[in-house]
Amino acid sequence: MPCNPKQRSYKTLNPKPHWLALILAILLFYSGGNVVAQDSVVEKKEKSWSFNGYLKDMQTVVIHKIDEPWVTDNLIHNRNNFKWNISKSFTFCLQERNRFYWGDFAAISPQYADFIAYDNGLVNMTWNIFSGNSYILNIAIDRLWLDYTKDNFQATIGRQRINWSQTFVWNPNDIFNTYSYFDFDYEEKPGSDAVRLQYFTSPSSRAEIAVKADKDKKITAAGLYRFNKWQYDFQGIAGIYTQSDLVLGLGWAGQIAKGGFKGEMSWFQPLQHFGDTTGVFLSSIEYDYTFRNSIFLQFEGFYNSNHINSSNVLINQFNPALLNAKNPFLTGFSIFSNISYPITPLISIAVAGIYNPTNKMYFIIPTFTFSLMNNLDLSLISQTFQTYDPALMSSCQTSVFIRLKGSF
Amino acid sequence: MKKLFLLILVIGGWQGSFAQALSAKEIIQKADDKNRGLSSQGTMTMTVIRPDWTRTISMKTWSKFREYSLVLITAPAKDKGQVFLKIKTEMWNWVPSIDKTIKIPPSMMLQSWMGSDFTNDDLVKQSSIVVDYTHKLLGREKVREMDCYKIELTPLPDAPVVWGKVLMWVTVNGYDVWMAEYYDEDNKLVNVSNNYDIRRMGDRDIPTRLEMIPVNKKGQKTVMHIVEMKFNTGIDESFFSQQNMKKIK
CATH number for the domain that contains residue B213: 2.50.20.10
Q: How far is A377 from chain B (nearest CA, A)?
A: 10
Q: What is the pLDDT of residue A35?
A: 35
The CA distance from A213 to A379, in Å, is: 36
Q: What is the pLDDT of residue B229?
A: 92
Q: What is the pLDDT of residue B32?
A: 86
pLDDT band of residue B108 (cuts 50, 70, 90) is confident
Q: What is the pLDDT of residue A314?
A: 58
Residue A222: pLDDT over 90: yes
Tell me which of A67-71, B63-67, B124-128, B133-137 is least confident.
B124-128
Tell me which of A207-211, B32-36, B48-52, B153-157 is least confident.
B32-36
B103 reaches A (C-beta below 8 A): yes
β-bridge partners, B210: B195, B224
β-bridge partners, A240: A221, A246
- Mean residue pLDDT of chain B comes to 85
- Is the four-CA dihedral B185, B190, B83, A40 of positive or negative sign? positive
Are A171 and B54 contacting, i.e. CB atoms less than 8 angstroms apart? no
Q: What is the pLDDT of residue A313?
A: 57
Residue A45: pLDDT over 70: no
Count the neighbouring beta carbons within 10 Å of the beta carbon of residue A343. Answer: 11
Tell me which of A9-18, A36-45, A185-194, B118-127 is least confident.
A9-18
Q: Which of A311-320, A379-388, B63-72, B121-130 has the highest mean pLDDT?
A: A379-388
Q: What is the pLDDT of residue A200?
A: 96
Q: How far is A304 from chain B (nearest CA, A)?
A: 23
Range of the domain at B102: 30-247
Q: Which of A368-372, B83-87, B113-117 has the highest mean pLDDT?
A: A368-372
Chain A residue with Cα closest to B80: A52
The DSSP bridge pattern shows strands A205-213 and A192-202 to be: antiparallel
Please tell me which residue, A32 or A208, carries the higher pLDDT value. A208
Count the neighbouring beta carbons within 10 Å of the beta carbon of residue A231. Answer: 14
Q: What is the pLDDT of residue A337?
A: 98
Please tell me which residue, A328 or B20, carries the higher pLDDT value. A328
Q: How many domains does chain A have?
A: 1
| Cβ-defined contact of B115 to A289 (cutoff 8 Å) | no
The DSSP bridge pattern shows strands A376-387 and A361-373 to be: antiparallel
pLDDT band of residue A323 (cuts 50, 70, 90) is confident
Residues above pLDDT 90, as percent of chain B: 50
Q: Which of A6-10, A261-265, B159-163 has the highest mean pLDDT?
A: A261-265
Residue B87 belongs to a domain: yes
Residues 6+ apart with CB under 8 A from A88: A38
Residue A14: pLDDT over 70: no
Distance from chain centroid for Cα B182: 13
| Amino acid at position B159, single letter | A
Residues 6+ apart with CB under 8 A from A285: A167, A262, A263, A300, A301
pLDDT band of residue A20 (cuts 50, 70, 90) is very low
Residue B185 belongs to a domain: yes
Q: What is the pLDDT of residue A228?
A: 96
Please tell me which residue, A231 or A27, carries the higher pLDDT value. A231
B80 reaches A (C-beta below 8 A): yes
B78 reaches A (C-beta below 8 A): yes
Please work out, in degrees rounded to the nearest 5, the angle formed at the alpha carbon of residue A22 by the alpha carbons of A16 and A25.
Answer: 125
pLDDT band of residue B65 (cuts 50, 70, 90) is confident
Chain A residue with Cα closest to B236: A203
Q: Which residues of B touch A254 (CB under 8 A)?
A: 103
First to last CA, chain B: 64
Are A316 and A322 contacting, i.e. CB atoms less than 8 angstroms apart? yes
The CA distance from A332 to A306, in Å, is: 8
Q: How far is A233 from chain B (nearest CA, A)?
A: 8
pLDDT band of residue B21 (cuts 50, 70, 90) is low
Q: Which residues of B touch A148 (CB under 8 A)?
A: none
Per residue in A90-145, pLDDT tens? 999 999 999 999 999 998 888 899 989 999 999 999 999 999 999 999 999 999 99
Are B24 and B137 contacting, i.e. CB atoms less than 8 angstroms apart? yes
| Cβ-defined contact of A374 to B56 (cutoff 8 Å) | yes
Residue B197: pLDDT over 90: yes
pLDDT band of residue B116 (cuts 50, 70, 90) is confident
Q: Which residues of A touch B104 (CB under 8 A)?
A: 260
B173 reaches A (C-beta below 8 A): no
Are A241 and A150 contacting, i.e. CB atoms less than 8 angstroms apart? no
Q: Which residues of B touch A162 (CB under 8 A)?
A: 99
- Mean residue pLDDT of chain A comes to 86
Q: How far is A161 from chain B (nearest CA, A)?
A: 6
Q: What is the pLDDT of residue A363?
A: 94
Residue B122: pLDDT over 70: no
Helix ranges (H only) for B82-236 are 120-124
Which of B50, B87, B107 has its CB closest to that of A290? B107
Q: What is the pLDDT of residue A174?
A: 94
Per residue in A266-311, pLDDT tens? 999 999 887 777 899 999 999 999 988 889 999 999 999 987 765 5
> Rounded mean pLDDT of A241-257?
96
Residue A324: pLDDT over 90: no
Q: What is the pLDDT of residue A310?
A: 55
Are A329 and A314 contacting, i.e. CB atoms less than 8 angstroms apart? no
Q: How many domains does chain B have?
A: 1
Q: Which residues of A touch B47 (CB under 8 A)?
A: none
Q: What is the pLDDT of residue B22?
A: 81
Residue A19: pLDDT over 60: no
B48 reaches A (C-beta below 8 A): yes
Peptide bond into B76 cis (omega under 30): yes
Residues above pLDDT 70, as percent of chain A: 86
Q: Domain containing A171 — which CATH number?
A: 2.40.160.10
Tell me which of A43-57, A166-180, B8-22 is least confident.
B8-22
A217 Ramachandran zone, left/alpha/beta (phi>0; psi -120 to 50): left
B95 reaches A (C-beta below 8 A): no
The CA distance from A57 to A101, in Å, is: 10
Please tell me which residue, A276 or B198, carries the higher pLDDT value. B198
β-bridge partners, B246: none
Residue by residue, what is the 3-state secondary structure of chain A? CCCCHHHCCCCCCCCCCCHHHHHHHHHHHHHHHHHHHHHHHCCCCCCCEEEEEEEEEEEEEEECCCCCCCEEEEEEEEEEEEEEECCCCEEEEEEEEEEEEEECHHHHCCCHHHHHHCCCECCCCEEEEEECCCEEEEEEEEEEEEEEEECCEEEEEEEECCCCCCCCCCCCCCCCCCCCCCCCCCCCCCCEEEEEEEEEEECCEEEEEEEEEECCCCEEEEEEEEEEECCEEEEEEEEEECCCEEEEEEEEEEEECCEEEEEEEEEEEECCCCCCCCCEEEEEEEEEEECCCCCEEEEEEEEECCCCCCCCHHHHHHCHHHCCCCCCCCCEEEEEEEEEEEEECCEEEEEEEEEECCCCEEEEEEEEEEEEECCEEEEEEEEEEEECCHHHHHHCEEEEEEEEEEEC
Largest CA distance in chain B: 78
pLDDT band of residue A390 (cuts 50, 70, 90) is confident
Per residue in A328-350, pLDDT tens? 888 899 999 999 999 988 999 99
Q: What is the pLDDT of residue B2?
A: 45
> Rounded mean pLDDT of A61-74?
93
Q: What is the pLDDT of residue B129?
A: 86
The DSSP bridge pattern shows strands A245-256 and A259-270 to be: antiparallel
The CA distance from B56 to B48, in Å, is: 6
Are B201 and B61 contacting, i.e. CB atoms less than 8 angstroms apart? no
Range of the domain at A194: 5-39+47-407
The CA distance from B91 to B120, in Å, is: 11
Are A256 and A231 contacting, i.e. CB atoms less than 8 angstroms apart? no
